Structure 1
Amino acid sequence: MPKPSLVDKTVLIDDSDIDLFIQRRFLEVYNFSNELFLYKSAEEALSWLKNINGDPAPDIIFLDLNMPEIDGFSFLKNFKDLPEKIQTHSKIVVLTSSNSTKDRDQAFTFNNVIQFITKPLKQTDIEELKKLINKN
């Protein structure tokens, strides 16, 4: 019998097809989530989240910082305009190629950010995330 997923609904936001593919496969292998939603832009993801209506809010949002048009920090600033159920339920994991302390510090100024991971995702990152999720 397969072990239950850690969370029900996860969103991946990254402008790179390759990164989305790798992250999705990694999360599938670790049975991280029952459902995975992939978005190539912060704008698409925000639009989807704004119109989520009766559907459950995602548990975890993996967010890249360096994207064209709307970057990860702009997504975080716009997050406060999303429906309240998303703001209260969804946790954000910044998953980026940046290893800048400034980016890390700035990301953690946003309430919903629970973890900052430098790509690629690793097993240790998932283990840490499991601990964080189980505490909340």
Structure 2
Amino acid sequence: MPKPTLVDKTVLIDDSDIDLFIQRRFLEVYNFSSELFLYRSAEEALSWLKNINGEAAPDIIFLDLNMPEIDGFSFLKTFKELPEKIKLKSKIVVLTSSNSMKDRDQAFSYTNVIQFITKPLKQSDIEELKKLINKN
């Protein structure tokens, strides 16, 4: 019998193919999610979120901050305007190369942000996330 996953649906948003590949493999190894959706830009991800209609919203969104065009903070600002059913369900994990306290504080000023992780994703990060997710 397959091991149960932590969540049903996860979205990874990162402009780096290498980072997306590594994060996806890592989440697969830890059986984190039944479904994984990968987006190379915040714009693509927002467009998908705005049009999911009857489809279930993601449980977790891993968001890179440093991206061209629409960066992670712009994504967070726009996310606040999405339908309530998405905002109620989707929790955001900032996964970034930044270790700036200013970025961290700014990220946590958004209610949907539940975690701030400096890349790369580690086993301890997944353990922490499990605790956070099981609390919600």
TM-score, normalising length from structure 1?
A: 0.99
Cα distance in structure 1, aligned partners of 2:83 and 2:49: 8
Please give the root-mean-square deviation of Cα atoms over the aligned residues, in Å.
0.4
For structure 2, the 5+ residue unaligned runs are: none
Cα distance in structure 1, aligned partners of 2:3 and 2:43: 34
1:107 matched residue in structure 2: 107
| 2:94 paired with 1:83 | no
1:31 matched residue in structure 2: 31
Superposition map of 1:1-136 within 5 A? 1-136=1-136
Cα distance in structure 1, aligned partners of 2:98 and 2:125: 16
Cα distance in structure 2, aligned partners of 1:42 and 1:68: 9
SS of the counterpart of 1:8? strand
Cα distance in structure 1, aligned partners of 2:125 and 2:48: 27
SS of the counterpart of 1:38? strand
For structure 1, the 5+ residue unaligned runs are: none
TM-score, normalising length from structure 2?
A: 0.99
How far 1:2 moved relative to its partner?
A: 2.0
Amino acid of the residue matched to residue 102 of structure 1? Answer: K
How far 1:19 moved relative to its partner?
A: 0.1
Cα distance in structure 2, aligned partners of 1:100 and 1:81: 26
CA offsets, 1:23-80, max 9 Å, x none? 0000000000000000000000000000000000100000000000000000000001
CA offsets, 1:3-36, max 9 Å, x none? 1000000000000000000000000000000000
